[in-house]
Amino acid sequence: MAQVPSSIPLIDGPPAVGSKLQEIRKAQKLSLDELSKRAGVSKSMLSEVERNQANPTVGVLWRLASALGLSLTDLLAGGVADKAAPTVELVAAHSIPVTTSNDGKCTLRILGPIALAGKVEWYELAVEAGGVLASEPHEAGAREHLSVLSGTLTVQAADSSKVLKAGDSARYAVDVQHAIRNTGKGLAKALLVVEYLS
C-alpha cells in the first residue's frame, strides 16, 4: 500500500491538539512536569501528545482539559472558532471511534460527542456469544440504561441480575461492580447510555 506523502494534510484525521495544548500550557506558565502531575498523565505521554506523536484517548484529553480549566470542546476547537457551526453536523460512520474488549468479543461504538464525556455517554454495543463486558464501579450515583436491539443479554449490578430480550430495556446503578453478558448462541446488539450525576 502506498504511503501518503507527509506534505498532504489529512483532512478527516483526528485533530492534532499538540500545538494548542503546548500553547495553553505555556500561557498558564506550567511546566510539562506540573501539568503531568495535575492531570494524572505521564510526562512522556504529555510530551508525545504535544509533539503530535501520540493519539490520546478521550480520557487523557479530558484529564488534560480539566487540568487546564478547559472543556474538551475548547481543547479540540483548534483554529475553527470563527467558522459558523453547521445546523446539522454529520459524523460519518468511518469516523466514529470504536473500542473492543481484551477478548475481542465486545465492541463499543462511541456515539456521543467528546464534549459530553463524563456527563452522559452513549454507545452501540455488540456482544458475541460468550462475551462479557465487566466493569468496576463508576462514580457515586452513576447509572446505565441498556436497550437490547437484537439477541439476549444478561445484566448484573451488584447481586441483582436480569435477562433482556430484543425490545427490553434495563436501568441500573453502576457505582457497584456490574457486567453485561451474552449467554445466548448468537450476536447481541444494544444501545448503552451511561449517565453521571456531576
Q: Reduce the secondary structure of 36-81 to three states and give it as a string.
A: HHHHCCCHHHHHHHHCCCCCCCHHHHHHHHHHCCCCHHHHHCCCCC
pLDDT band at 175 (very low <50, low <70, confident <90, very high): very high
In Å, how far from its chain's centre is CA 53?
20
| Domain contains 13 | no
CA-CA distance, 198 to 196, in Å (whole number)? 6
| Domain contains 83 | no
pLDDT at position 80 over 50 = no
DSSP states along 79-108: T-TTSPPPSS----GGGS-EEE-TTS-EEE
pLDDT at position 49 over 50 = yes
CATH code, domain with 162: 2.60.120.10
CATH code, domain with 66: 1.10.260.40
What is the per-residue pLDDT for 14?
A: 54
- Domain carrying residue 52: 18-76
pLDDT digits (tens, 9 = 90+) for 16-46: 688 888 888 888 888 888 888 888 888 888 8
CA-CA distance, 25 to 120, in Å (whole number)? 28
CA-CA distance, 186 to 182, in Å (whole number)? 8
Mention every residue, 6+ apart, whose C-beta is less than 8 A from residue 167: 148
To the nearest 10°, report the CA torsion of 115, 118, 122, 127: 130
Pair (49, 101) in one structural domain: no
Percentage above 90 pLDDT, the chain: 39
**Which of 79, 81, 111 lies closest to 95 in space, CA to CA?**
111
What is the per-residue pLDDT for 119?
A: 86
| Domain contains 12 | no
Pair (97, 69) in one structural domain: no
pLDDT band at 133 (very low <50, low <70, confident <90, very high): very high
Q: Average model confidence (pLDDT) for the chain?
A: 83
| Domain contains 4 | no
Intra-chain end-to-end CA distance of the chain, in Å: 47
The grid coordinates listed for 72 are 474538551
Pair (103, 182) in one structural domain: yes
pLDDT band at 157 (very low <50, low <70, confident <90, very high): very high
| Domain contains 149 | yes
Pair (102, 190) in one structural domain: yes
Pair (61, 116) in one structural domain: no
Residue 117 has φ and ψ, to the nearest 5°, of: -55, 135
| Domain contains 11 | no
Q: Using alpha carbons, list the distances in angstroms from residue 89 to 60, 75, 86, 92.
A: 25, 19, 6, 10
pLDDT band at 8 (very low <50, low <70, confident <90, very high): very low
Pair (102, 68) in one structural domain: no
Pair (152, 67) in one structural domain: no
In Å, how far from its chain's centre is CA 110?
6
What angle do helix axes 43-50 and 18-27 make, rounded to 10 degrees? 110
pLDDT digits (tens, 9 = 90+) for 82-112: 345 567 878 888 888 889 988 899 999 999 8
> Average pLDDT of 164-183?
95
